[in-house]
Structure 1
């Protein structure tokens, strides 16, 4: 994604989210806060205003390759947005484990120093996992943002429900969302994408064998990500007797599969969808997320036609004695490209 800038308004109080925001309704000055998200390939920043209806403003995205460190990117953004670090709240969503003073990012060369951020911003930063941040935004989604995958109708998150959030991009992320009956939100971070890949058939076994030769330990992320789809394509090419030294980019594989112009791309995308279904079904069983699955991230939006061909839901629900229970669980794609920033704002508000 190239560097970009835009403005957006997002209501993050989950049960006021369906009410329209009217300009001028917040006439009193409110504290401006800063949120950011690092997903591996890109970093995004925004400023927030408001309390019950939080406005996300001055949204800017940059490739992480454009700056040597996160601090450089942060300083560039605050200067360009006219934001003065004066002790205002700050939440950073990271694609990795959000613990310790020095946070490393598996799919990015940057690291984050929590004490360094505290000194620069003059506030105690809130650091959370990027999919945990997205989970915080899910309760504010309405049906217009949900695209059904499979036959079970799409349903927004509601009080009393437990949900799973999963997405693929530079890596594979997930989080668990519980909305209590009184509306309280509980989000549990996870690094489930690094769990060991579990083959379900001979095709999966052959894929695992090839991936072991490349990586040793094979996590689901080695398959279910943009690099993972490229791994699948190159291994299928080798198995078919026409190895490729440089497989097409994941977006090209997806486009070729959707247009039926490359049989190998179609096979790779179908295998990806089936393995994703297996992973998500396992996660629902593990986490008790019986009320729904929200798939996020642009990559899965690109793959919606493929995810709706049947392989995803078939592997999702093929779990022996638990198959019938899984057949009733809705799976949807959430269309919201500011969800991580909005969720970071919601988490900061609830701190």
Structure 2
């Protein structure tokens, strides 16, 4: 995560969520529980640069851009000052945006921002699907978040005794897919051949009817394909808990909400999640939730700003 110095003033915070095809902007009332308002969406194809989109929103929302605290959510990895947004021709620089905002924005990718959205437990719907326990982000702990929609990513919120919350994220969805059983092994081989690499993201994004199934010598119906994807998701999620140490819980956003609403798929997910050769009892106890939340990236961006400015 790229962090810039953020200061507080009486102005509403600016939130920007650029997911590739769409740029969404909104304002948030400063505070520990920021209220989001004045949301507008724009097709990125309508603007040659991100700066033009920011200026258009400022005009439509009747605000001045500078000076203003801003949180920026992007689809794609963050490394250094330059940001290349997935599925979008824009190339952003934090310093460049800082020229029109009066200060560089606080930036986070679209997977990691879901971790910050978890702080808004009064928003959205959280469904406990396995394990046991509740969540208290004011107490020391480690909470993993998985974002599975157009891609696959994971992040971790950590609070150590006497310290503030910290976020850790990476691109774990692009690590190597570890197959179990004949069907997954066949899928792995097909991905290696056709995609030049078998990652967790590529495996889990294989929808029913995808040519990759035929290449793997498989022709599953939707029910079978969904159960297989639920099993693979459980393997991945359990591995995330082990790799990141997310013992206090894992939150799943996006496709898992509908995929795991099916009882057979949920059973397959939990069986694979808990199937560990080491730390089985710890993984089994780890609570896991599916989450549905409107404007989740904006909610997370606002909570991230509140944390940066305040003492969360």
Q: Report the TM-score when normalising by structure 1.
A: 0.77
Conserved? CA contact 2:190–2:216, under 8 Å: no
Post-superposition CA distance 1:34-78 (Å, at most 9, x none): 011223443322101132331111123345445444333323222
CA distance in 2, matches of 1:153, 1:59: 37
Counterpart in the other structure of 1:14: none
- After TM superposition, the structure 1 = structure 2 runs for residues 93-108 of structure 1, keeping only pairs within 5 Å, are 93-108=73-88
Unaligned 5+ residue runs, structure 2?
1-8
Q: Aligned with 1:167: secondary structure?
A: strand
1:155 corresponds to 2:129:
no
Change (3 A) 1:206 1:107: farther
Q: Aligned with 1:177: secondary structure?
A: strand
Conserved? CA contact 1:178–1:187, under 8 Å: yes
1:303 corresponds to 2:253:
no
Change (3 A) 1:302 1:174: same
Conserved? CA contact 1:273–1:312, under 8 Å: yes
Unaligned 5+ residue runs, structure 1?
1-28, 243-262
Q: Aligned with 1:273: secondary structure?
A: helix
CA distance in 1, matches of 2:207, 2:124: 32
Conserved? CA contact 2:187–2:203, under 8 Å: no
Comparing 328-337 with 52-61, greater Cα deviation is found at: 52-61
Change (3 A) 1:168 1:107: farther
CA distance in 2, matches of 1:111, 1:122: 19
Post-superposition CA distance 1:201-220 (Å, at most 9, x none): 22111101111222212221
Post-superposition CA distance 1:221-262 (Å, at most 9, x none): 1123xxx233874333455687xxxxxxxxxxxxxxxxxxxx
Counterpart in the other structure of 1:209: 189
Counterpart in the other structure of 1:326: 283
Change (3 A) 1:181 1:44: farther
CA distance in 1, matches of 2:123, 2:35: 21
CA distance in 2, matches of 1:195, 1:280: 13
Which among 280, 290, 294 is matched to residue 251 of structure 2? 294
Q: 1 or 2 for the larger relative contact order (CA 8 Å, sep ≥6)?
A: 2
Deviation (angstroms), 1:189? 1.8
1:219 corresponds to 2:199:
yes
CA distance in 2, matches of 1:64, 1:111: 12
Conserved? CA contact 2:19–2:110, under 8 Å: yes
Q: Aligned with 1:305: secondary structure?
A: coil
Change (3 A) 1:116 1:231: farther
Deviation (angstroms), 1:312? 0.9
Deviation (angstroms), 1:301? 2.2
RMSD, aligned α-carbons: 2.5
Equivalent residue pairs, number: 298
Change (3 A) 1:64 1:322: farther
Q: Aligned with 2:67: secondary structure?
A: coil
Deviation (angstroms), 1:186? 1.1
CA distance in 2, matches of 1:144, 1:154: 19
Counterpart in the other structure of 2:228: 271
Conserved? CA contact 1:96–1:191, under 8 Å: no
Counterpart in the other structure of 2:118: 138
Deviation (angstroms), 1:197? 1.3
Change (3 A) 1:139 1:167: same
Deviation (angstroms), 1:153? 4.0
Q: Aligned with 1:131: secondary structure?
A: coil
Conserved? CA contact 2:127–2:290, under 8 Å: yes
Counterpart in the other structure of 1:229: 206
